[in-house]
């Protein structure tokens, strides 16, 4: 049996069945590219069509979201939820509100979520959702009306034993609050476990806000420790300035590194003395302004409009903004400037061409399904607390997060070693996650 030919044929069929979904195709190709040696050991997976079954969502829901702005104008957005795989537990994955949201992006995110969730070792399946709504520039009242309309349809498809959404780009604690309130109103029940990322005072978990960024920094530290180093004393660049980037910066500083640059869609700032994370929090989370404001308040910093943040020399890079932000030319510059490690804080921020450059140069690489799994892991911990009507301390929650991230790195490294790819955490993450889901699907029969 020619395994490569079989996998290529499966991929071609997936592309044909899902036209004009480039991000989804890319995510599938990345996983399938690691599975050759796995399928060689488990040829029964081909006979049982495990790859085809994992690559086809169990359910795709698309719906209309009508709402009215403060001036009385009616708007119509499109909402969706892709419930991809429930072999390990209820569907789990965030909601993204952004103009770029379409089925291809949601399916790519949901597909990645299957394996990311499996790597956490928690009993959660994979899903994703969102809408092509942009909360930027909208009043709280407009965001509330949109969220209420969105949940008026979504509520019938979710539940603590069915599908548990969380936040993603454009969906923070404000949006989760409005969504939860509408769910509670419609169902006449206080079902805390139906959404994660809630406020601490009404069922939320400590460290959930920080978890994705903290987890990415911890994973990067583990990558460096595996070769005898650490983040301590390292120069780091973090793209983005949203939730993930902010708390990645904070944790890097706690671990002894220095983050010298971060960005938003307008450009990036450089502060060689180390990014003042409290100022970034104030600018982005309180004032909701552009990152350029930082340079106006810090004499030692400077702002670069547009351009590429990857021009800034660093030893560690944490792409934490959005998909495909780190391209081939960026990877070439990182290598030239002596970058030692890249860990993905965002979902699939590195293009395939850039990944090839980094791997050829022996740059340690942590794929997003492993490196940014801290957010969903802590969401699962929030579900545990909701189920037991409990609330854990920040210290205990952070300790659990650290244990999970260290274990994810260990699993990826050991699987890569076992499958003849020592040090290749992409192979380790893909094969480890795939095997766990495939084994569960086999146990459940042909469904």
Are 293 and 344 in a shared domain?
A: yes
Residues 340, 363: contact at Cβ < 8 Å? yes
Tell me if 409 is assigned to some domain.
no
Residue 1: pLDDT above 60?
no
Tell me if 261 is assigned to some domain.
yes
Beginning with the edge strand found earlier in the chain, give each strand of the sheet holding 74-85 in spatial order: 59-68, 74-85, 125-131, 91-97, 163-167
Q: What is the pLDDT of residue 406?
A: 98
Closest to 146 measured CA to CA, from 135, 161, 160, 162: 135
Kind of pairing, strands 74-85 and 59-68? Answer: antiparallel
Binding-site residue positions: 92, 113, 116, 167, 212, 243, 379
Round to whole Å and give the CA distance between 143 and 138: 6
* Tens digits of residue pLDDT in 137-156: 999 999 999 999 999 999 99
Q: Could you list the residue range(s) of the whole structural domain that residue 171 is in? A: 59-192
Round to whole Å and give the CA distance between 422 and 412: 10
DSSP-derived 3-state class of residue 350: strand
Are 141 and 238 in a shared domain?
A: no
For residue 108, the domain's CATH number is 3.40.50.10860
* Tens digits of residue pLDDT in 15-40: 999 999 999 999 999 999 999 989 99
Are 224 and 340 in a shared domain?
A: yes
* Tens digits of residue pLDDT in 112-145: 999 999 999 999 999 999 999 999 999 999 999 9
Residue 319: pLDDT above 80?
yes
DSSP-derived 3-state class of residue 154: helix
Kind of pairing, strands 235-238 and 163-167? Answer: unpaired
Mean pLDDT, residues 396-415 taken together: 98
CB atoms within 10 A of CB 227: 11
* Tens digits of residue pLDDT in 283-304: 998 998 999 999 999 999 999 9
Round to whole Å and give the CA distance between 175 and 316: 33
Are 180 and 77 in a shared domain?
A: yes
Q: Report, as residue numbers or ranges, the catalytic residues.
A: 128
Mean pLDDT, residues 199-210 taken together: 95
* Tens digits of residue pLDDT in 81-90: 999 999 999 9
Q: What Rg, from alpha-carbon coordinates, does the chain have? A: 21
Residue 109: pLDDT above 60?
yes
Mean pLDDT, residues 401-409 taken together: 98
Binding-site residue positions for substrate: 92, 113, 116, 167, 379
* 84: phi then psi, degrees, rounded to nearest 5: -80, -50
Tell me if 414 is assigned to some domain.
no
Q: What is the pLDDT of residue 167?
A: 94
Q: Identify the domain boundary among 161, 192, 223.
A: 192
Binding-site residue positions for NAD(+): 212, 243
- The model's pTM is 0.94
The whole-chain average pLDDT of the chain stands at 96
Sequence-ordered strand ranges (E) for 17-104: 59-68, 74-85, 91-97
């Amino acid at each position: 049996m020619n395994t490569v030919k079989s996998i290529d044929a499966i991929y071609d069929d997936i592309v044909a069945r899902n036209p004009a979904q480039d991000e989804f195709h890319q995510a599938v190709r990345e996983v399938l590219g690691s599975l050759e040696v796995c399928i060689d050991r488990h040829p029964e997976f081909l006979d049982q069509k495990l790859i085809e079954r994992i690559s086809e969502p169990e359910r795709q829901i698309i719906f209309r979201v009508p709402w009215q702005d403060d001036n009385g104008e009616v708007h119509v957005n499109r909402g969706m939820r892709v419930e991809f795989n429930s072999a390990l537990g209820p569907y789990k994955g965030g909601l993204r509100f952004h103009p770029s949201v379409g089925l291809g992006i949601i399916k790519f995110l949901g597909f990645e979520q299957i394996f990311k969730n499996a790597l956490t070792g928690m009993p959660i399946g994979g899903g994703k959702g969102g809408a092509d709504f942009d909360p930027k520039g909208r009043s709280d009242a407009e965001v509330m009306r949109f969220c209420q309309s969105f949940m008026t349809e979504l509520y019938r498809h979710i539940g603590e034993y069915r599908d548990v959404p969380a936040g993603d780009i454009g969906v923070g604690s404000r949006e989760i609050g409005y969504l939860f309130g509408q769910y509670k109103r419609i169902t006449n029940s206080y079902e805390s476990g139906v959404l994660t990322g809630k406020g601490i005072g009404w069922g939320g978990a400590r460290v959930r806000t920080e978890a994705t960024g903290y987890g990415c920094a911890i994973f990067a530290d583990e990558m460096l420790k595996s070769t005898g180093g650490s983040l301590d004393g390292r120069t780091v660049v973090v793209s983005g300035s949203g939730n993930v980037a902010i708390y990645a910066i904070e944790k890097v500083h706690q671990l002894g590194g220095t983050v010298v640059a971060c960005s938003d869609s307008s450009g990036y700032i450089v502060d060689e003395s180390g990014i003042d994370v409290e100022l970034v929090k104030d600018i982005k989370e309180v004032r909701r302004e552009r990152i350029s404001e930082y340079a106006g308040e810090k004499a030692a910093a400077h702002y670069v409009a547009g351009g590429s943040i990857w021009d800034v020399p660093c030893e560690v890079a944490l792409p934490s903004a959005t998909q495909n932000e780190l391209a081939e030319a960026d990877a070439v510059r990182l290598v030239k400037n002596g970058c030692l490690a890249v860990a993905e804080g965002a979902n699939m921020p590195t293009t395939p061409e850039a990944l090839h450059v980094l791997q050829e140069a022996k740059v340690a690489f942590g794929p997003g399904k492993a490196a940014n799994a801290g957010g969903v892991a802590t969401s699962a911990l929030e579900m545990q607390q909701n189920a037991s009507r409990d609330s854990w301390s920040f210290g205990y929650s952070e300790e659990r997060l650290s244990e999970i991230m260290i274990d994810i790195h260990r699993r990826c490294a050991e699987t890569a070693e076992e499958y003849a790819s020592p040090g290749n955490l992409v192979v380790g993450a893909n094969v480890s996650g795939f095997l766990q889901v495939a084994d569960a699907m086999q146990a459940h029969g042909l469904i």
